Structure 1
Amino acid sequence: MVARPKLLVTRRIFPEVLERLEAHFEVASNQDDEEWSAEALRARVSDCEALFVVASDRVDAALLGAAPKLRIVSTGSVGYNHIDLAACSARGVVVGNTPDVLTEATADMAWTLLMAAARRVSESERWLRDGQWKRWAFDQFLGADLFRSTLGIIGMGRIGSAVARRARGFEMTVLYSNRSRAANEAELGAQFVPRDELLARADHVVLVLPYSQATHHTIGERELALMKPTATLVNIARGGIVDDAALARALEEGRIAAAGLDVYENEPALNPALLDAPGIVLTPHIGSATRSSRVGMAMLAADNLIAFAEGRPLPAPVRVG
């Protein structure tokens, strides 16, 4: 009998996904679901041919050096900035990710944060729960309109396009900024504009671009200064795209009105200034957190691993060369 390749799964996954993997691999999985240190991960992967990671796991040259048998890394995420693709390429390690399956859920989350922030939902709920609601008033918790306002989307890929499609119901003017013109801009009714123009014109800005060194602090002091004082900023992309400290200052000083964040620099650690900033809605990286999306992500990550084990092309490969 041919020995099955060894697979390390760094987080607890759904039973049906684990069962599929166990039919093809000798699986060791993190059933406690505690985040392992880099040292602990290197020790556990040392004799493995395959690795199933999540976005908080760093796959770098040090890990690859500790795992001489490793041949494939499959991440249960669309983003792969936690994986050193150059180091993987140099060692002949294949990489897979999970595009598409979380598009609609994440676009829904963008709208959840946008509406909650623009209409001051979290702020007013805390005020109500604190027992401060004593009377109704015309000027109580006045928020921003979404209907027939201007939406700016930075990053018009799959998720950005899904965000734009939802804007039709609000009869919004949709602006977008991207590395290149989107082939579907006419279908979406979206207008391509330079980023600075988008920031100056938009009533609401949604960030949906991948993280890299080139996109680090895409929104910082200068960009926040371009936005309207009545504007809302939403980040469902990746932490590090927004300078969180600069955003907290802009909110505190009233230079923008509201923000909704699902991702953060150095998460799960938060810049404490965000917790005290007015007009902000904070969620713990749950953009894709519906059962269908999360199971779909885990299944696609498993499909990548199984395809490799069977000598087939990965259904969702990341270009590593």
Structure 2
Amino acid sequence: MKKVFLTRELPPKAMEKLRAHVDLEMNIEDRVLRKDEIIEGVKGKDGLLCLLTDDIDADVMDANPDLKIIANYAVGFNNIDIEAATKRGILVTNTPGVLTDTSADTAFSLILATARRIVEADSFARTGRWMGWGPLQYLGKDVWGATLGIIGLGRIGKEVVHRSKGFKMKTVYWNRTRLSA
């Protein structure tokens, strides 16, 4: 069975699958590991399963010349020195697309919460200052029919635009390359 070091616990379903297929050693604390702790953890392992909060550079890779794979539990991989991994023949993987809908939902939720002043109104009510309805209290702005500006129309940006259609929003965007209509 392959030996893998995990820098931080993952959701239960993922942990169950990992434990069934690899000899797993992991950080049991819910915190980002220091570089020296990652270096110590990766020694003698076939693989490293890390998160976007972990800086995986040549020093980490050099701690174990037998390291075969670095799996990043993240959409991107800018936390990993790809050039160093390539030089050492270490395969680097990531999880593209897994958080597209989740991120778009969160972004649109924040748009609604900001426009409607939800956080302010919640705080106002929870601190006992709300004494009843008032015509000007925390009305915020309408989202319906508003103009939405998006910077970066990648997977997530496109999904935010898709959600905005339900609110009949006009969309403007900036992207490095112009997209067809």
* TM-score w.r.t. length of structure 1: 0.53
Quick check: 1:148 aligned with 2:145?
yes
1:111 to 105, 108, 111: 108
CA distance in 1, matches of 2:160, 2:178: 16
In structure 2, what is the equivalent of residue 175 of structure 1?
172
Residues 169, 16 of structure 1: alpha-carbon distance in 2 compared, 3 angstrom cutoff: closer
CA distance in 2, matches of 1:150, 1:176: 10
CA distance in 2, matches of 1:156, 1:85: 25
In structure 1, what is the equivalent of residue 118 of structure 2?
121
Quick check: 1:166 aligned with 2:130?
no
Residues 15, 122 of structure 1: alpha-carbon distance in 2 compared, 3 angstrom cutoff: closer
Quick check: 1:32 aligned with 2:29?
yes
SS of the aligned residue for 1:151 comes to strand
| Residue type at the aligned position of 2:147 | T
| Residue type at the aligned position of 1:158 | R
Farther-moved stretch of structure 1 (94-103 vs 110-119): 94-103
State the shift of 1:62 in Å.
Answer: 1.6
CA distance in 2, matches of 1:103, 1:36: 26
In structure 2, what is the equivalent of residue 74 of structure 1?
71
CA distance in 1, matches of 2:176, 2:88: 30
Rg (Cα) greater in structure: 2
1:102 to 96, 99, 103: 99
Residues 136, 73 of structure 1: alpha-carbon distance in 2 compared, 3 angstrom cutoff: same
Residues 47, 113 of structure 1: alpha-carbon distance in 2 compared, 3 angstrom cutoff: same
Q: Deviations over 1:205-263 (max 9, x none)?
A: xxxxxxxxxxxxxxxxxxxxxxxxxxxxxxxxxxxxxxxxxxxxxxxxxxxxxxxxxxx
CA distance in 1, matches of 2:24, 2:120: 45
Residues 118, 21 of structure 1: alpha-carbon distance in 2 compared, 3 angstrom cutoff: same
State the shift of 1:135 in Å.
Answer: 4.0
SS of the aligned residue for 1:87 comes to helix
Name the structure, 1 or 2, with higher relative contact order (CA <8 Å, separation 6+). 1
State the shift of 1:21 in Å.
Answer: 2.9
CA distance in 1, matches of 2:68, 2:31: 25
State the shift of 1:50 in Å.
Answer: 0.6
CA distance in 2, matches of 1:93, 1:29: 20
Unaligned runs of 5+ in 1: 187-321
In structure 2, what is the equivalent of residue 6 of structure 1?
3
Q: Deviations over 1:49-75 (max 9, x none)?
A: 211111111101221121221121111
Q: Structure 1 stretches (4+) deviating beyond 4 angstroms?
A: none
| Residue type at the aligned position of 1:176 | Y
SS of the aligned residue for 2:49 comes to strand
SS of the aligned residue for 2:165 comes to helix
Q: Deviations over 1:285-317 (max 9, x none)?
A: xxxxxxxxxxxxxxxxxxxxxxxxxxxxxxxxx
State the shift of 1:23 in Å.
Answer: 4.3
2:46 to 41, 45, 49: 49
2:135 to 130, 135, 138: 138
State the shift of 1:134 in Å.
Answer: 2.2
| Residue type at the aligned position of 2:48 | L
SS of the aligned residue for 1:113 comes to helix
- Superposed, 1:279-290 pairs within 5 Å as none
Quick check: 1:93 aligned with 2:90?
yes
CA distance in 2, matches of 1:140, 1:20: 50
In structure 2, what is the equivalent of residue 205 of structure 1?
none
State the shift of 1:15 in Å.
Answer: 4.2
SS of the aligned residue for 2:98 comes to coil
CA distance in 2, matches of 1:121, 1:177: 28
In structure 1, what is the equivalent of residue 57 of structure 2?
60
Residues 6, 114 of structure 1: alpha-carbon distance in 2 compared, 3 angstrom cutoff: same
SS of the aligned residue for 1:152 comes to strand
State the shift of 1:115 in Å.
Answer: 0.5
